[in-house]
Amino acid sequence: MDEQNANPTEFDVIVWGATGFTGKIVVEYLHQRYGNQTDQLTWAIAGRDAGKLQAVIEAVGCDKIPCLLADGSDRASLDALVSSTRVVLSTVGPYALYGSLLVGACAASGTHYCDLTGEVQWMRLMIDAHHDEAVRSGAKIVHTCGFDSIPSDLGVHFLQAAMKARGERPASQVKYRLVKAAGGVSGGTIASMLNMMDEVAENPQILTVIADPYALNPLNTVTGQDVNEAATPIYDDVLGQWVGPFVMAGINTRVVRRSHALLGMPYGPGFSYEEGTLIGAGPTGYLKALMASIGTRFGMLLSAIGPTRRLLARLLPKPGEGPERAKREA
């Protein structure tokens, strides 16, 4: 085990949080894709518990991959860690509880950073605290690099690029429709969602941030015709089906709008984006969409009430838990 002793930029990537459920999946992927240290990618795993890191190494079989020790609550420790790599990939959530110091360290040092957060209120805090510093240092701070929000953000980018390649103007309105999804949710994701509701309970003003369609936009870049996600079924005239809520819409839509703003509004100042789940056609489709809407609102209500939120925390998967491999790969 090496404690903060790697040479400057010795690594291309350090996986921070390698002992968690998602972190282990990332380590498995990197080992399968790149093996041990290669000319393509030099990487390491990092955390605060040497024993747990070694257990991951043994389970995955990547015995030549360095294990680095750092304390996520100690800025000096994190400064030393991030100075040894070009990129930090963090899977440690809830990020609002455990991620802020690491983002600050990366922004200050010019080290690129990516994570899997879906915590809008925390991202807003990080933007306000570190965006300008990251611009000065050259660090690229990229949140939401998972199911939320890569399909949405890159989907819009590629769609608009295709429009341009055909010699057409950018689409002024884009609608994302989820048809089906599989894989399940990890305990870390659930913990992040419940922590967000804990924060709202302590500071109701946070709800205003979460509900703002432009919560992640740079200041003074609120444009378009975007509104909050529909609480009731809507009918998609193009597809001829009813649309219900999509649980990730409250994150994805804000990420897409931020990207559009940071790029200088290339799709026009009136560009709008929304998401929903495609349910079905006719009266049956409407009823299913209505039930999905009611179920979503009921779930939000349960998570907003302290006693039921604590009950959910006991019943739902815990951090470190998640769907089995067969379900993830189905």
Q: Per-residue pLDDT averaged across 104-119, rounded?
A: 98
**d(C-alpha 36, C-alpha 41), whole Å:** 9
- Nearest-CA neighbor of 89 among 101, 106, 75? 106
**d(C-alpha 66, C-alpha 85), whole Å:** 12
* Helix, strand, coil distribution of the chain in percent, nearest 5: 45, 15, 40
Q: Between 221 and 22, whose confidence is greater? A: 22
Tens-digit pLDDT profile for residues 284-316? 999 999 999 999 989 888 888 899 999 988 888
- pLDDT-derived band at 251 (thresholds 50, 70, 90) equals very high
The pLDDT score that the predictor gives to residue 3 is 45
- Residue pair 187/322 in contact by the 8 Å Cβ criterion: yes
Q: Per-residue pLDDT averaged across 67-72, rounded?
A: 96
The pLDDT score that the predictor gives to residue 120 is 97
- pLDDT-derived band at 171 (thresholds 50, 70, 90) equals very high
The pLDDT score that the predictor gives to residue 6 is 45
At 45, which helix (H) or strand (E)?
strand 43-47
Residue 77 reports pLDDT greater than 70: yes
The pLDDT score that the predictor gives to residue 8 is 57
Mean per-residue pLDDT over the chain, rounded: 92
For 2, the 3-state DSSP assignment is strand
| Strand-pair category, 272-280 with 241-244 | antiparallel
Residue 1 reports pLDDT greater than 60: no
The pLDDT score that the predictor gives to residue 329 is 72
- Residue labelled with tokens 């200041």: 219
- Nearest-CA neighbor of 302 among 160, 197, 202, 228? 197
The pLDDT score that the predictor gives to residue 182 is 79
The pLDDT score that the predictor gives to residue 183 is 78
Delineate the domains of the chain, giving CATH numbers in brackets: 11-142 (3.40.50.720), 172-318 (no CATH)
- pLDDT-derived band at 330 (thresholds 50, 70, 90) equals low
Task: Dig out the tokens for 238 from the structure.
Answer: 């193009």
Q: Per-residue pLDDT averaged across 107-123, rounded?
A: 98
Residue 231 reports pLDDT greater than 50: yes
Q: Per-residue pLDDT averaged across 176-189, rounded?
A: 87
- Residue pair 26/326 in contact by the 8 Å Cβ criterion: no
Angle (nearest 5°) at CA 131 between 125 and 136: 155
> How big is the chain, counted in residues?
330
Beta bridge partners of 172: none
Residue 241 reports pLDDT greater than 90: yes
